[in-house]
Amino acid sequence: MRAKNQEALILPSSPGSWLLASDSYLPPPMKRILPVLALAVATGCAPSAPTKPATTQTGPSPSAKPTAMPAAADDHKLIVYQLLPRLFTNTKTTNKPWGTAEENGVGKLNQITDRALDEIKKLGVTHVWYLGALEHATMTGYPGIPPDDADIVKGRAGSPYAVRDYYDVAPDLADNVAERMQEYEALIKRTHSHGLKVIMDFIPNHVARSYRSDAKPAGVVDLGEKDDQTKAFSPSNNFYYLPGQPFQVPARNNPLGDQQGPGEDHKFSENPAKATGNDVFSPTPSVDDWFETVKLNYGVDYLNGRTNHFQPTPDTWLKMRDILLYWAAKDVDAFRCDMAEMVPVEFWAWCIPEVKRQRPHVKFIAEIYNPQAYHRYVQVGHFDYLYDKVGLYDRLRELMAGGGSTGKLDYIWQQESRGLEPNMYRFLENHDEQRIASPQFAGLATTAIPGMTVAALMGPGPVMLYFGQEVGEPGKGPEGFSSDDGRTTIFDYWGVPEHQKWLNDGRFNDERLSVEQRRLRHFYQKLLTFCRSSEAIRSGAFYGLHFANERSQGAGYDDQKCYAFLRYHGNERLLVVVNFDRAKTHSATLKIPEAALQTVGLPATGTLRFTDQLLSSQEFTTPAPDLFAPDAAKGLKVNLAPLSAYVLKIEAR
DSSP letter, residue 425: E
Query: Using 50, 70 and 90 to split pLDDT, how confident is the model at 68?
Result: confident
Query: Using 50, 70 and 90 to split pLDDT, how confident is the model at 69?
Result: confident
pLDDT at 46: 34
pLDDT in tens, 355-409: 999 999 999 999 999 999 999 999 999 999 999 999 999 999 999 999 999 999 9
Q: Are residues 489 and 623 in the same domain?
A: no
pLDDT in tens, 367-382: 999 999 999 999 999 9
Query: Using 50, 70 and 90 to split pLDDT, how confident is the model at 603?
Result: very high
Q: Is 183 left (phi over 0), alpha (psi -120 to 50) or beta?
A: alpha
Here the CATH number for the domain that contains residue 643 is: 2.60.40.1180
- The answer to whether residue 222 scores a pLDDT higher than 70 is yes
Q: Are residues 343 and 478 in the same domain?
A: yes
Q: What is the mean pLDDT of residues 300-304?
A: 97
In a domain? residue 294:
no
Q: Are residues 528 and 546 in the same domain?
A: no
Q: Are residues 526 and 406 in the same domain?
A: yes
Q: Are residues 442 and 332 in the same domain?
A: yes
Q: What is the mean pLDDT of residues 82-109?
A: 98
- The answer to whether residue 23 scores a pLDDT higher than 80 is no
Determine how β-strand 300-301 pairs with β-strand 307-308. antiparallel
Q: What is the mean pLDDT of residues 50-64?
A: 33
Percent of all residues in the chain with a pLDDT value above 70, rounded to a whole number? 90
pLDDT in tens, 421-465: 999 999 999 999 999 999 999 999 999 999 999 999 999 999 999
- The answer to whether residue 40 scores a pLDDT higher than 50 is no
| Residue 276 phi, psi dihedral angles, 5° rounding | -80, 155
pLDDT at 587: 98
| Residue 72 phi, psi dihedral angles, 5° rounding | -80, 145
Q: Are residues 15 and 131 in the same domain?
A: no
pTM of the model: 0.91
- The answer to whether residue 87 scores a pLDDT higher than 50 is yes
In a domain? residue 304:
no
Q: Are residues 519 and 559 in the same domain?
A: no
Q: Are residues 334 and 482 in the same domain?
A: yes
Q: Of the given ranges (18-32, 321-335, 419-433, 517-531), which has the lowest mean pLDDT?
A: 18-32
Closest CA to 407 of 300, 564, 267: 564
* Cα gap 422→4, rounded to integer Å: 8
pLDDT at 212: 98
- Identify the domain boundary among 514, 533, 552: 533
Alpha carbon distances (Å) from 388 to 25, 72, 161, 371:
11, 17, 20, 9
Q: How many CB atoms lie within 10 A of CB 515?
A: 7
In a domain? residue 269:
no
- Identify the domain boundary among 533, 564, 581: 533
Q: Is 96 left (phi over 0), alpha (psi -120 to 50) or beta?
A: beta
The count of structural domains within the chain is 2
- The answer to whether residue 207 scores a pLDDT higher than 60 is yes
Q: Are residues 401 and 515 in the same domain?
A: yes
In a domain? residue 310:
no
In a domain? residue 258:
no
Domain range holding 54? Answer: 6-28+44-69+541-652
Q: What is the mean pLDDT of residues 570-589?
A: 98
- The answer to whether residue 11 scores a pLDDT higher than 80 is no
pLDDT in tens, 509-550: 999 999 999 999 999 999 999 999 999 999 999 999 999 999
Burial of residue 532 (number of CB atoms within 10 Å: 0-12, 13-18, 19+) = middle
Here the CATH number for the domain that contains residue 414 is: 3.20.20.80
pLDDT at 7: 25
- Identify the domain boundary among 533, 559, 582: 533
Query: Using 50, 70 and 90 to split pLDDT, how confident is the model at 41?
Result: very low
Q: Of the given ranges (16-20, 181-185, 568-572), which has the lowest mean pLDDT?
A: 16-20
Q: Which residue has the higher pLDDT, 44 or 648?
A: 648
Q: Are residues 388 and 511 in the same domain?
A: yes
Q: Are residues 65 and 89 in the same domain?
A: no
In a domain? residue 283:
no
pLDDT at 141: 98
Q: Are residues 545 and 509 in the same domain?
A: no
- The answer to whether residue 185 scores a pLDDT higher than 80 is yes
Q: What is the mean pLDDT of residues 298-322?
A: 98
pLDDT at 67: 59
In a domain? residue 291:
no
pLDDT at 70: 81
Query: Using 50, 70 and 90 to split pLDDT, how confident is the model at 74?
Result: confident
Mean pLDDT, the chain, rounded, equals 91
In a domain? residue 557:
yes
